Structure 1
Amino acid sequence: MNETNTQKPKNARLRRCALAAALIGLAALPAMAADTDTGALTTVAALDVPRYMGRWHEIAKYPNRFQKQCIGNTQAEYSLEPDSRVRVVNRCQVAGGGTQEAIGIARQIGDADSAQLKVRFAPAWLSFLPWVWGDYWVIDLDRDYQLVAVSEPTRQYLWILSRTPAVAPEKLNALVHRLREKGFDIDKLEMTSHTNRE
């Protein structure tokens, strides 16, 4: 995505606030019981957080209300902070050609190689409130850290991310098959458009 040629909408700040409010509402939702037919959702055995850093392109997702304004070219950029937390920058293209950006922070839960993280997009002064932190679980990850699936315990949300804007069909199909085996409704997946192939 060419950031220098992209004009942000005049109301970008308002949209960022609305996105943050939506994410606060998401994190505040009570956890629903996992589908008893599929059992509890599990993460990958271990996550090397430094290796996970960098840019990821959204390949597909379950539609959700806090991304409804995104029309394509959705990315996530992760970078380590000095305190070992992770800076999160989500970007997407919106109607009219502008870019929407949301900046958050994530932290690991549990051991140093835990694949369970908590993320917040609410202002830092609200970070003491547990419900502003949403679950970010890495549930499938290839050995080369090139293709990943992210969800949360209720399976209500799902994202497929890749280091590149396009994924080889056989790799994507294999991942989708594994997600189906984990109890996800694959028919709900919505593919993400990428007009800029970096």
Structure 2
Amino acid sequence: MVSFMNRSFGFSAASITPDRSFPTADNVDLDRYMRDWYVIAHIPPKVTRTAHNSIERYRRKGDDQIDVTFTFRKDGPNGAHKTMNPTGFVVPNTGNAVWAMQFVWPIKMQFVVSYVDDDYQTTIVARERRDFVWIMAATPQISDDAYDALVERVRQIGYDMSKLRKVPQQPAESHVSLA
């Protein structure tokens, strides 16, 4: 099998895989992880800094690829509907927790499933550079206790918590359909 990393300029699994000390989920069951995830809070890239109703949809595309549909409303709940469609490439020998996310060819960015709860209801996707992070859930709202526990995990990873933004989420029925 040809490694996906050989298809882009100079990228390797080593350049995407975080140091062993970086928190990574032990073993991500990809079939359970493939779902719609509501972004509850994030330290986002500039393009999604004012996002509302953000949803990441993951669908398997073969054994090592993930089709991603990211939708959000720009600048408010009634703002322009935006969609991004990156592809995730699962890095071998990482328990399915490390992905190379490609928004624009040939650039691949590190995405690490740092945490997923036993019931696959909440997750944290982080980066070793500690520049971006996403707290996500299977529902658009979570309890304050669940939120606080996830925020504490992000803090323990070493993020600048002053940059964390809670993403406004309306009830699920008011979101734009991804189907």
- Following superposition of structure 1 onto structure 2, how do residues 1-198 of structure 1 map, counting pairs within 5 Å? 40-68=21-49, 70-95=50-75, 97-111=79-93, 113-122=95-104, 126=105, 129=106, 132-198=107-173
Unaligned runs of 5+ in 1: 1-26
What do residues 126-164 of structure 1 show as CA deviations (whole Å, max 9, x unaligned)? 3xx3xx101110111111111011111111111101110
Question: 1:186 offset after TM fit, Å?
Answer: 2.1
Letter in 2 for 1:104: P
Larger CA Rg, structure 1 vs 2:
1
Matched residue of 1:121: which SS? strand
Give the RMSD, CA atoms, in angstroms. Answer: 2.3
State the shift of 1:97 in Å: 3.3
- Mind listing any 5+ residue stretches in structure 2 that lack a counterpart? 1-10, 174-179
4+ residue runs over 4 A deviation: none
**Identical counterparts, % of pairs:** 24
Q: Supply the distance in 1 between the matched residues of 2:94 and 2:132 (Cα, whole angstroms).
A: 24
Question: In 1, Cα distance between the equivalents of 2:101 and 2:44?
Answer: 19
Structure-2-length-normalised TM-score? 0.78
Shift of 1:112: 6.8
Deviations 1:34-72 (A, max 9, x none): 9xxxx942211111111100100000001421213x430
**Structure 1 residues 197 and 114, CA, compared in 2 at 3 Å: closer, same or farther?**
closer
